[in-house]
Amino acid sequence: MAKTDLIGGSLWEQYSTIVNERMTNPRFMGEITDDEAGAMGARLVVADWGAEVCGDAIRLFWAVDPETDKILMAKYKTFGCGTAIASSDVMAEMCIGCTVDEALKLTNLDVERALRDNENTPAIPPQKMHCSVMAYDVIKKAASIYKDVDVDSLEEENIVCECARVTLRTIKDVIRINDLETVEEITHYTKAGAFCKSCIRPGGHEKRRHYLVDILNEVRQEMES
């Protein structure tokens, strides 16, 4: 399969060599069977997550030690673009050796940083950052299955920008403290809206609960009243 079948040719040069390697030679793609988990004395957890807008989907397999909650092995299967494959591969590797609670602290930003060739150069173009969010979402789903809780209960705060992990509270505080008047200023201060841009206004790549334009209008009205 050609690289351009997985990633658009015009975008290819914006990807790190690590993304290239993980896309073409993934290390943790596959599945863990009940027998394999049993041989490790582990509980098998299988979690599915999909992004309806772009059609990407992932199935995450964890073999978890029930006595320590440590993830002994992680694998995945994915249907998606090269960014989704590379992000999922690194995500699976990062889970291994973590407890379930430690894995929950991993975010798409951690995955993206692990894909960088150097710390100052992003691994993927901004418009593809949403692909790494799926890796974070499936961890939450797997943890919710293991803990037998609702997946929404594992989200500590109301996230507005999934790509940059910026919360509603942070955005409102930044607007008030810095007297911001434009969405561009919000992005400059917080990075919200800097990547796939779905959170800026309705009609973007993915539907959001909150949009920067609405948050800005609401806070400005409160400040000026």
> Which residue is catalytic, options 131, 161, 196, 199?
131
Is 131 part of the annotated catalytic residue set? Answer: yes
According to DSSP H, which parts of the chain are helical? 3-6, 17-24, 34-39, 82-95, 100-104, 108-114, 130-147, 168-178, 183-190, 212-224
Q: What percent of the residues of the chain are helix, what percent strand, and what percent coil, each to the nearest 5?
A: 50, 15, 40
Is 54 part of the annotated catalytic residue set? Answer: yes
Which one-letter DSSP state was computed for residue 51?
Answer: -
* Cα–Cα–Cα angle for 106, 141, 214, rounded to 5 degrees: 75
Residues annotated as catalytic (active site), given as ranges: 54, 131
